[in-house]
Amino acid sequence: MTPTEHDGRCVLRLILVAAASAMVLILAIAVDTAFAQSNRSDFADGAVAADGSLRVPEGFRERYVMLGAWAVAGDVDTGGKLGLHVVYAPGDAVTAFRKTGQFPDGTVLVKELFNGKTEDLTTGKATSAADVAGYFVMVKDREGRFSGNPLWGDGWGWSFFAAGETQKTRTKDYVTDCLGCHEPARATDLIYDYAYPVLRK
């Protein structure tokens, strides 16, 4: 072997070793990413604990799509004053609903209650969202995951959270605390979906 041939082989070997290491690295990153994704794709955006208790999903205002809002006169939740209810859902759930007319398994709906601030503006008497009064959260469940849990049934998980208590619900039983008021919307999976423009075709 001449010295140049020897050098050539060494370089080739180096290249092979480098290529093999790169492949191992790429594989490691791929496995790691897949693992992280499978962790991240937790049921219902991390809004449901293993025991079926719900919480308000973190950062929903920035991460979710606003479906629409209700101006509610004489709201029981805001002591009879004009209040605003703003409803949110994840963007991919909205996309799916627009295709199929149904929210996919694991969809989280958040209704945020605001006390209204009413004032005379250049437009006339106008009400804006002031402080938060609470949150209603529903999670779509097509598999009956938590049968026997009083926060789950009729295809949804149900919970109310007072302002500042986003981790611990005050709801004891969805049948007594929620269902009666949602019965009028039974034909649309218990959701008042006609009020949300982004869901319309």
SS3 content of the chain, % helix, strand, coil (to 5): 40, 30, 30
Which residue of 84, 139, 191, 199 would you call a contact of ligand HEC, by CB under 6 A? 191
Count CA atoms within 13 Å of residue 170 on its CB side. 10
Give whichever of 74 and 122 is closer to ligand HEC, judged by the CB atom. Answer: 74
Cα distance between residue 186 and residue 109, in whole Å: 16
Nearest Cα to 157, choosing from 59, 50, 24, 37? 50
Contact between 84 and ligand HEC per CB under 6 A = no
Contact between 181 and ligand HEC per CB under 6 A = yes
Give whichever of 148 and 180 is closer to ligand HEC, judged by the CB atom. Answer: 180
Give whichever of 6 and 170 is closer to ligand HEC, judged by the CB atom. Answer: 170
Task: Name the E strands within the chain.
Answer: 64-72, 83-90, 108-121, 124-140, 152-153, 156-162
Site string for ligand HEC, 1-40 (x = CB under 6 A): ----------------------------------------
User: Which stretch, 5-13, 21-29, 124-132, 176-184, contacts ligand HEC (CB under 6 A)?
Assistant: 176-184
Between the two ends of the chain, the Cα-to-Cα distance in Å is 75
The nearest distance, CB 156 to ligand HEC, in angstroms, is 8
Tell me the three state secondary structure of residue 33.
helix
Contact footprint for ligand HEC (CB under 6 A): 70, 72, 85, 87, 109, 111, 136, 138, 158-160, 171, 177-178, 181-182, 191-192
